Amino acid sequence: MRNRLNYQSTEYDCGPTSLVNAIRFLFDREEIDPGLIKGIWHLGNDTYNEEGCPGKHGTSMAAACYIASWINGYAKGWKFPLKTEYMSGLCVQAGPQTPIDACLESGGCAVIRCWTGKIPHYVLLTCLTPDGFIGLWDPYDEDPDLDPEKYRIISDSRQMNRMVRVDVLNSTGKEDYAMGAEEHREVILFMRTDGKDSL
């Protein structure tokens, strides 16, 4: 049985929630190894806020990169049919003939770092639409006031709760769901390696 995607439990755990959601999106519940989920939660939320409180500054880009590598090692060691690819910087773009679109077109998904409310945030990209939008799952359970020309709120889907225009996603600014400055972008591509359909 395919799991529903999760919402984050605190103000700070969008990173591990989105990474676990990638696993939930690609695999049926009975296929998922609990050690994989435990490892992601253990490695995420590695930062400290200004007062020194652990986890209260979310998940760092360094941790996201490490988790992607750790998942590949775990998958290889335990013969779990999953592969990730971490990319950062100028090469992180959405649109035709990009790694993000190729991953989504082949049934994979992708966790990106973007902006919401001027704060860095992790979300899960799940699908492309014919009208120039990308479907995503935002783990922050809130219905913000969004421009309907750029964003759509989806309430009846198991694979997305937002649709965002590709040009907004690729924006170098800090508007909602923009990936922002190219030098600070990151994405983790998730793909099944056994040829099974992720949907």
Domain ranges of the chain: 14-192
User: What's the pTM?
Assistant: 0.95
pLDDT band at 197 (very low <50, low <70, confident <90, very high): low
Q: Pick the residue with more confidence: 88 or 49?
A: 88
Given strand 151-153, what is the order of strands in its sheet?
82-88, 186-192, 109-116, 119-128, 133-137, 162-165, 151-153
Tokens 């296929």 sit on residue: 31
Residue range 14-192, CATH number: 3.90.70.10
Residue 144 has pLDDT above 80, yes or no: no
149 contacts: CB under 8 Å, gap ≥ 6 = 165
Cα 49 from Cα 154, distance rounded (Å): 33
pLDDT band at 27 (very low <50, low <70, confident <90, very high): very high
Q: What is the pLDDT of residues 87-107, one digit of tens each?
A: 999 999 999 999 999 999 999
Cα 45 from Cα 184, distance rounded (Å): 18
